[in-house]
Structure 1
Amino acid sequence: MTMFGRVALAAVGFCALFSGLAFAGEKVTIKDVTGRDIEVSVPVEHVILGEGRQIYFVAALDTDAPFSRVVGWRDDFKKADLDGYNEYLAKFPEMDKLPTFGGMKDGTFDIEQAVALKPDVIIMNIDAKTATEEAGYIEKLGKVGIPLVYVDFREKPMENTEASMRVIGTLFGKQERAEEFIRFRAEQIARVTDVLAKADAKKPLVFMERAGGYSDDCCMSFGNENFGKMVELAGGANMAKDIIPGTFGTVNPEQIIASNPDQIIVTGANWELYVPGGNWVGVGPDADPKASVRKLANLMQRPAFTGVKAVKDNNVHAIWHQFYNNPYQFVAVQQIAKWLHPELFKNLDPDATFKELHERFLPVDYKPGYFASLAVAG
């Protein structure tokens, strides 16, 4: 049995155990992804999301009414994922009236506004931990009885996604739903890792460019986590693994040319509100495939990619940036595996996987457009 299979079976046991412990309105102690023990009454009815894109995991649990608990959220969803925002807005117009907040990290979070909304809990991403602690927010919120809980789908998502989904499942009283999602995720990752475990496949060298074209700088990438770890799970060798010590960092153009990667994958999304008319690749729901390919090809004209093997062979791809910040990363793992090992995964359909995820767990219909490739265009 694979590691992911064992995790899925363990999850079933966890769900059966915990479902008998928590009752409506009962105070329980949960452990968040930082190891903090937090006392909270569950299920929570009023929630502040420390990031708007946390709706990605909220929707997987509160599928019928994803905004029913949300009393406020950070103002990033519309700017960071305009197509996704509009997709949800069309079905849930009430979300446009929710109070919005600035971020903890940039010091624009309004704690008085948050307290006035009387949330049962505030859910924060782990990358805001340092700023939160320096500002003393946990203590200030604690004085008025508002717990703050950390989750993580960005810093170490392949390590913390399951734990984060269980935390949220407990908070929402949706433990069984969370375990169902975790099982589905494990099964879909195993469709890649099980095949690779039986194959003696060479690992192509992959350069992951983070948010290519978002700025004129080159080139942001990933260390041994997030998309970097997804590349490894998909049967590739992450070029920046030994260059970037943490999850995120930068690789200079000379390093890319010298490394001469076999494959290049650029993350992108519709960032028109961040960088109007920018060179970013706007992959995402219902994105124009021709525009995505055109902009991807344009990015390969930069000096960092001059003469690189991946560009010569048209092994250049674009993938939805937001996979780096939600529990759907298994879809990205499947697509990357299909790009890196087309013969091994010719029968694997990541679009079908993502569509099934939408049909089983999400309140909006699936619209393709999350991937683009010069190999297909060529």
Structure 2
Amino acid sequence: MTGRRSTRRRSAAADAGRRRFLAGGVALAGAMLAGLGRPGRAAPSGGITVTDILGRSVTVAGPVERVILGEGRQIAFVAALDREAPFRRVVGWRDDLIKSDPATFDAYRARFPDIASLPRFGTVSTGGFDVERAIALAPDLVVFNVEARGSIDESRVVDKLASVGIPCVFIDFRDRPFEHTEPSMRILGRLFGREDVAEAMIAFRRAEIARVTERLAAHPDLVRPLVEIDRIPGTTDDCCLSFGAENFGRVVEIAGGRNLGSALIPGTFGILNPEAIVAADPAVVIATGGNWQAIAPGGGWVGLGPGADLAEARRRLAALMRRPAFVETSAVRTGRVHAIWHQFYNTPYQFVAVQVIARWLHPELFADLDPDATFRTLHERFLPVAYRPGYWVDLVERAP
């Protein structure tokens, strides 16, 4: 991002963006008045075409050089595609990483300080995604997550961008991650011209998941404990947010457990009645945690993430387990209570969570599994920032 050559390229691109915006504004207004669906320019011949997670065909002229990330946390994979200069193509991004995962943002900013001045966008659902500003940045591509589709369709963001020749692609690491993560990685790898990196990271991910699933398959009679996932406790007074059969619910199943919410929550996310938790009496409780000072200042959330204070995280976890829904459960009485970094739910790193939870659920079977080493290896092989522990904690401190 730094250097005179880079500055000249960005300045020229920004000038082009302003010219494109002035010309495109006329086309955009005309398209909207005419009620056209996607009137933009013809798809470039000989370009790169992918089918995104929504089944849409998306074509770009070649490997993209200017990208807006519709969610800042997409950098979790984009950084692997351009490890030495992970923001060289990023001309703007949503502000969610800064708010929801400030420790990770700080880790990247420490090495790449220019990201502090990257243009930021809010969410489409709140009207915070400024289409005119996006056009002025002259992106080759805008990347959105599938969960934003409803708001995007309602506000016609994709149509407005398409009307001036800016394509959008939809990916998913969150709603159905074990179905959509690998295709999403391949989509971005192809659009960035870095298929080799995408395939290498996919292979690493598969191999690390197999270390759990293959061993479980060899023990079909293994007792699978009932697990309650306490989603982002301490950020709200509501009890108790949890996961259905997808996302962390699926992680629990893959790791050899039974997720309580799978039978009670119809979608990916939902709420469990406290009485239902008491009646089910889960053998294991797993809370998700992070640094949500920007979202829930002063809340009792469990602070987890790179470099987290695990003693303080353990203290907060203990306080949360004094809530009526949990205090008399078998999990609390036997000390089988844990917390894990919430952001595993929205990155290609979910396989690390599979290993962590497998060790919690079946400590003897997976005694030799070291998820800390797995996550460290991921950083060393693929990511531009150093690994720092702090992503999970036990209520009862274990011997090293």
TM-score of the superposition, structure 1-length normalised? 0.92
- Aligned counterpart for 2:340 among listed residues 319, 336, 345: 319
The answer to whether structure 1 residue 341 and structure 2 residue 362 are counterparts is: yes
1:89 corresponds to which letter in structure 2?
Answer: R
Unaligned runs of at least 5 residues, structure 2: 1-44
What's 1:172 paired with? 192
Alpha-carbon offset, residue 61 of structure 1: 1.3
The answer to whether structure 1 residue 256 and structure 2 residue 277 are counterparts is: yes
Q: Is the 8 A contact 2:314 2:393 kept in 1?
A: yes
What's 2:224 paired with? 203
- Aligned counterpart for 1:50 among listed residues 52, 70, 76: 70
1:246 corresponds to which letter in structure 2?
Answer: G
What's 1:234 paired with? 255
Write out per-residue CA displacement over residues 238-289 of structure 1, whole angstroms, 9 at most, x where no aligned residue: 0000111110111011111011000000001011111222100011101111
The answer to whether structure 1 residue 152 and structure 2 residue 172 are counterparts is: yes
The answer to whether structure 1 residue 91 and structure 2 residue 86 are counterparts is: no
Q: How many residues align?
A: 354
Larger radius of gyration: 2
SS of residue in 1 equivalent to 2:357: helix
Q: Matches of 2:368 and 2:87 in 1, distance apart?
A: 37
What's 2:50 paired with? 30
Q: Matches of 1:56 and 1:175 in 2, distance apart?
A: 16
Write out per-residue CA displacement over residues 176-230 of structure 1, whole angstroms, 9 at most, x where no aligned residue: 1100000000000000000000013100000011111111111111111100000
1:204 corresponds to which letter in structure 2?
Answer: P
The answer to whether structure 1 residue 368 and structure 2 residue 396 are counterparts is: no
Q: Is the 8 A contact 2:48 2:63 kept in 1?
A: no
Q: Matches of 1:226 and 1:305 in 2, distance apart?
A: 22
The answer to whether structure 1 residue 67 and structure 2 residue 83 are counterparts is: no
SS of residue in 1 equivalent to 2:73: helix
Write out per-residue CA displacement over residues 32-90 of structure 1, whole angstroms, 9 at most, x where no aligned residue: 00111111122000000001111111112111111000000001111100111111111
1:67-146 matches, within 5 Å, as 67-146=87-166
Unaligned runs of at least 5 residues, structure 1: 1-24
SS of residue in 2 equivalent to 1:369: coil
Alpha-carbon offset, residue 303 of structure 1: 1.1
Moved over 4 A (4+): none
Q: Matches of 1:202 and 1:105 in 2, distance apart?
A: 43
- Aligned counterpart for 2:236 among listed residues 198, 207, 215: 215
SS of residue in 2 equivalent to 1:304: coil
What's 2:353 paired with? 332
Q: Matches of 1:367 and 1:137 in 2, distance apart?
A: 38
Moved more, 356-365 or 25-34: 25-34
SS of residue in 2 equivalent to 1:240: helix
1:340-359 matches, within 5 Å, as 340-359=361-380
What's 1:246 paired with? 267
SS of residue in 2 equivalent to 1:305: coil
Q: Matches of 1:67 and 1:29 in 2, distance apart?
A: 23
Alpha-carbon offset, residue 117 of structure 1: 0.2
Write out per-residue CA displacement over residues 271-314 of structure 1, whole angstroms, 9 at most, x where no aligned residue: 11112221000111011110011000010011111310000011
Q: Matches of 2:245 and 2:61 in 1, distance apart?
A: 37
TM-score of the superposition, structure 2-length normalised? 0.87
SS of residue in 2 equivalent to 1:303: coil
Q: Is the 8 A contact 1:293 1:377 kept in 2?
A: no
State percent identity of aligned pairs: 56
Q: Is the 8 A contact 1:42 1:170 kept in 2?
A: no
- Aligned counterpart for 1:292 among listed residues 308, 313, 324: 313
Write out per-residue CA displacement over residues 339-359 of structure 1, whole angstroms, 9 at most, x where no aligned residue: 000000000000000000000
Q: Matches of 1:114 and 1:274 in 2, distance apart?
A: 25
Q: Is the 8 A contact 1:32 1:151 kept in 2?
A: yes
Q: Is the 8 A contact 2:145 2:170 kept in 1?
A: yes
